[in-house]
Amino acid sequence: MSTLIAGFIASFLAGFLLLRYRSVHERFSADHDTTGIQKFHVRPVPRIGGIALLVGIVTTIAIHYSANPSIWQFVALLFACAIPVFAMGLLEDLTKAVSVRTRFLGAIVSALLAGYVFDAWLVDVQFIGLNALLAVPAISILFTCFAVAGVTNAFNIIDGYHGLVSIVGCIILAAIAYVAFKVQDFAVMASALTAIGAILGFVIWNYPRGLIFLGDGGAYLLGFWVAELSILLVTRNIAISKWFPVLICIYPIFETVFTMYRRFVLKKAQVGKPDAIHLHQLIYRRVVRWAVGSDDAVLRNQRNSLTAPYLWVLASLSVLPAMLFWEHKWVLQAFIVLFALTYIWLYSRIMLFRVPKWLLLRDKP
């Protein structure tokens, strides 16, 4: 509990100071583009909330390190490995000039550092044929790095509305902490709880009013933290199925894979070209229907905040069975298939204006 409290308070205070002195940094930190294809805020907002996460994590490590050095050295090393990807994301938040390729490279560097420091490479993924390839060290290293970088980038892709990626991250980290507790991997559990506390301190300022955004730095830090803890949990504990982290992260993973398929195969467009038809964007436009087209800032902001809970529920539908069946490969695989089918059904229904009536929110609350 002290881990959660320390991170929460430090992150909350950091968020307060970032907002209190926004006049000092907002010319660099604020997202002034409110009309872009993927922009849904109504006024310039600082996008450096990742700094609050960083402060929360560092403070928690500093407070607890002397009490249990073996555990908190693990957390500190994980944080050190996250610095390259966080730095690339934060640099983008401040300059708006760092390419997706450069940020992806930052994630690869962080994954390489973590793999080397913890000697944690994926050599067994419980998939016929692939294990033989992963027995080759170079392939195992490349596969692990791209898996971590891919999940890291996936979290940035779903970061579109107030509280969306933050709470999804908390839900996933809670599952990691729970299973880590079940197998008595207290270093991984402490790492997950540290991040949860820091995220919740930030969320106070982000949801529902959107006073500050997580930004690329925060989204990449959160995505890397989830991805690397998932790798560490299954490589350090053979009882846990390698499909457990796939299921808990299936929402951001499938969103990314489906987006690539939609852009490259269906639209014949560049994979990296942004559009406004992610699932969360369709929910914003076609499910949360009240205030559609309104120029009223208060109404648009409230509509923004009503979008994320739909995705929180969707993410929970994969995380809850993963927590129950973390040892059982076939059950986890079945739920992955079920999630994919559910996502495609929901996406197609919304896209064709056939949204189930029980999902629609028509009137102002």
Closest C-alpha among 297, 302, 306, 258 to residue 279: 258
Domain that holds residue 133: 2-359
DSSP secondary-structure letter at 288? Answer: B
Closest C-alpha among 323, 300, 292, 256 to residue 45: 300
Q: How many separate helices (H) and strands (E) can be counted in the chain?
A: 16, 2
Cα dihedral sign, 41-47-49-50: positive
CA distance 155 to 117: 24
Q: What is the mean pLDDT of the chain?
A: 91
Alpha carbon distances (Å) from 44 to 20, 50, 304: 15, 17, 15
pLDDT in tens, 213-228: 999 999 999 999 999 9
Based on the structure, what is the number of domains in the chain? Answer: 1
**Which residue would you say has higher pLDDT here, 299 or 4?**
4
Residue 365 pLDDT more than 50?
no
Residue 252 pLDDT more than 90?
yes
**Which residue would you say has higher pLDDT here, 289 or 106?**
106
Answer whether residue 90 is part of any domain.
yes
Answer whether residue 127 is part of any domain.
yes
Supply the pTM of this predicted model.
Answer: 0.93
Cβ atoms of 335 and 247 closer than 8 Å: yes
Round the CA-based radius of gyration of the chain to a whole number and report it. Answer: 20
**71-75, 120-124, 188-192, 293-297: the lowest-pLDDT one:** 293-297
pLDDT in tens, 2-54: 889 999 999 999 999 999 999 999 988 987 665 545 445 457 899 999 999 99
Contacts 24+ apart (CB under 8 A), 138-147: 141/112, 141/115, 144/111, 144/115, 144/120, 144/231, 145/108, 145/111, 145/112, 145/115, 146/108, 147/111, 147/122, 147/227, 147/231
Answer whether residue 364 is part of any domain.
no
CA distance 192 to 187: 9
Closest C-alpha among 91, 105, 83, 98 to residue 29: 91
Amino acid at 155: F
Answer whether residue 151 is part of any domain.
yes
Answer whether residue 201 is part of any domain.
yes
Which pairing describes strands 45-46 and 30-31: parallel, antiparallel, or unpaired? antiparallel
CA distance 35 to 68: 49
Answer whether residue 87 is part of any domain.
yes
Confidence band, pLDDT 50/70/90 cuts, at residue 288:
confident
Does an H or E element contain 299, and which? helix 297-305
